Amino acid sequence: MVASSAAVDSIDPAMRGNATGPALPRSIHSALVIPVRDDLRSLDGYHSAQVDVRVRLNTNESPEPPPVAFRDALAAEISRVEWHRYPDRAAVGLRAAIAEMHGVDPEQVFAANGSNEVIQTVLLAYAGPGRTVATFEPTYQMHAQIARVTGATVVSGERAADFTLDPAEVARVVNEFQPDVVFVASPNNPTGIVEPATLVSQLLDLAPGLVVVDEAYAQFASWSALDLVSDDRALVVTRTFSKTWSMAAARLGYLVGPRWLVAELEKVVLPYHLDAVKQIAGRVALQFAGDMDARVQHVVSERDRIVAAMKELPVEVFPSGANFVLFRPWPDAYDENSGRAVWDGLIERSVLVRDCSGWPRLTGCLRVTIGTPEENSEFLAALAAVLEAESAHRSRPEPLINGARK
Ligand X SMILES: Cc1ncc(COP(=O)(O)O)c(C=O)c1O
Among 70, 126, 136, 140, binds ligand X (CB under 6 A): 140
Give me the sign of the Cα torsion angle 398, 399, 402, 404.
Answer: positive
| 195, 214, 302, 390: residue in contact with ligand X (rule CB under 6 A) | 214
Q: Is the CB of 58 or the CB of 338 nearer to ligand X?
A: 58
Residues in 176-195 that interact with ligand X by CB under 6 A: 185, 189
Q: How far is the CB of 292 from ligand X (least distance, A)?
A: 15
Q: Which residues pair with 377 in a beta bridge?
A: none
Query: Any contact of residue 219 with ligand X (CB under 6 A)?
Result: no
Binding status of residue 9 toward ligand X by CB under 6 A: no
Query: Cα–Cα distance between 42 and 240 in angstroms, integer?
Result: 29
- Return the number of the residue (246 or 357) whose C-beta is nearest ligand X: 246
Least CB distance to ligand X at residue 354 (A): 10
In the complex, what is the shortest distance from the CB of residue 218 to ligand X, in angstroms, rounded to a whole number?
A: 10
CB atoms inside a 10 Å sphere around CB 401: 8
Q: What is the DSSP string of 320-372?
A: -SSSEEEEEESTTS--TTHHHHHHHHHHHTTEEEEE-TTSTT-TT-EEEE---
Distance CA 125, CA 261 (A): 9
* Residue from 147, 216, 235, 261 in contact with ligand X (CB under 6 A): 216
Q: Applying CB under 6 A, does 60 fall inside the site for ligand X?
A: yes
CB-CB contact of 98 with 254 (8 Å): yes
Q: Which stretch binds ligand X (CB under 6 A): 64-72, 92-100, 108-116, 196-204?
A: 108-116
Q: Which residue lies nearer to ligand X by CB, 246 or 338?
A: 246
Gyration radius from the chain CA atoms:
23
Phi-psi region of 129 (alpha: psi -120 to 50; beta: other; left: phi over 0): beta
**Is 116 among the residues that bind ligand X (CB under 6 A)?**
yes
CA-to-CA dists, residue 135 to 139, 268, 327, 365, 394, angstroms: 7, 23, 22, 20, 37
Residue 145 or 377: the one with the smaller Cβ distance to ligand X is: 145
**Interface residues with ligand X (CB under 6 A)?**
60, 114-116, 140, 185, 189, 214, 216, 240, 242, 248, 253
